[in-house]
Amino acid sequence: MIKKLYVVGSNTKKSLSPVIFNYWFKKNNISAKYKFKEYNKKNFKTEIKKILDQKTTIGFNVTIPFKETMKKMLHKVDLHAVKIGAVNFVVKENNKWIGKNTDWLGFEKSINLNKRKIKKNIVIVIGYGGASKAVIYSLKKMKFKKIIIANRTVSKINKIKDSQIKPIEIKDISKYLKAANLIVNTTPVDVLKNIINNKRKIDVLACDIVYSPKETGFLSHFKKNKRIYGISMLVHQAKPCFENLFSIKIRNTKELFLLLDKKIK
Ligand code: ATR
């Protein structure tokens, strides 16, 4: 029986998750297939039920815009996913469907604090959707002191009651840029485009969760050696999913990153 796995979302055709998982299957001689499934808000529940009922499905990843809806369709949700409020990984354990979140871990690994030795005083997070919440959860775990959140819809962030968090309007980001130790974009766009007119590249560590193209508009504002690419978070959130599913440790990702680099130029 060939095991089946998926990435489900509204725009998964170009997702690189199938490339990552199918590469690991081949490397580890696993008889499984990982495919993408595109659903819309109307057909999501009926289609996902088919996947859950299929005997060959052993797990799947969930992406935009279903990470929050998914929580309600499972037998159990783990603590990280409860705290973040979103599920990006579903796995069958003892015949029950369990929802988990590995996005926060993927973010932590891609930042790689130990190697970079960055200060943890101020971080700016742009956007306040599902991905942003996993990033914020991760930043708190890493003990960043002040988290400035900039969002297009200010009403969504103004109601956050957390002394560690400062909500700001996107147009005010430039005021805080110099003091920041890290800036993370969790939106699909380059929100700095119209507010930064300085041609000089910004000397602050910057991370984009968008992974295609590699050099996003957002990252282009920053010095080359300060850019953390989105593909890093994608691979590092997939790694614990694979390890959980097959109880095999992934030790080397160099060759995989080279393969992915060719696909996202
Ligand atoms: P995800 O799961 O990837 O985080 P999401 O929950 O839909 O996706 O959140 C998308 C985030 O990107 C939101 O913060 C959204 O801002 P709003 O809260 O104002 O909707 C932000 N975003 C999306 N498109 C944007 C745009 N064109 N300009 C600025 N922000 C945008």
CB atoms within 10 A of CB 72: 10
Residue 231 has pLDDT above 80, yes or no: yes
DSSP structure class, residue 103: H
> Of 225, 226, 176, 210, which Cα lies nearest the Cα of 196?
176
Ligand 1 within 6 A of 193 CB? no
Atom 3 in ligand 1: residue holding the nearest Cα: 131
Beta bridge partners, 99, equal 77, 90
Q: Is 67 a catalytic residue?
A: yes
pLDDT digits (tens, 9 = 90+) for 71-125: 999 999 999 999 999 999 999 999 999 999 999 999 999 998 878 888 999 999 9
In the chain, where does DSSP find H-type helix? 17-27, 44-53, 79-84, 103-111, 113-116, 130-141, 154-158, 173-177, 230-246, 254-263
Measured in Å, residue 131 CA sits from the centre of ligand 1 at: 9
Tell how strand 122-126 and strand 89-93 pair up.
unpaired
Ligand 1 within 6 A of 85 CB? no
Q: How many whole angstroms separate alpha carbon 30 and alpha carbon 209?
A: 29
At 248 the pLDDT is 97
pLDDT digits (tens, 9 = 90+) for 168-223: 999 999 999 989 999 999 999 999 998 887 789 999 999 999 999 999 999 999 99
Atom 2 in ligand 1: residue holding the nearest Cα: 130
Residue 265 has pLDDT above 80, yes or no: no
Atom 15 in ligand 1: residue holding the nearest Cα: 127
Ligand 1 within 6 A of 131 CB? yes
Return phi, psi of residue 203, to 5°: -95, 55
At 43 the pLDDT is 97
pLDDT digits (tens, 9 = 90+) for 58-82: 999 999 999 999 999 999 999 999 9
One-letter amino acid at 160 equals: I
Beta bridge partners, 185, equal 126, 208
pLDDT average, residue stretch 228-253: 97
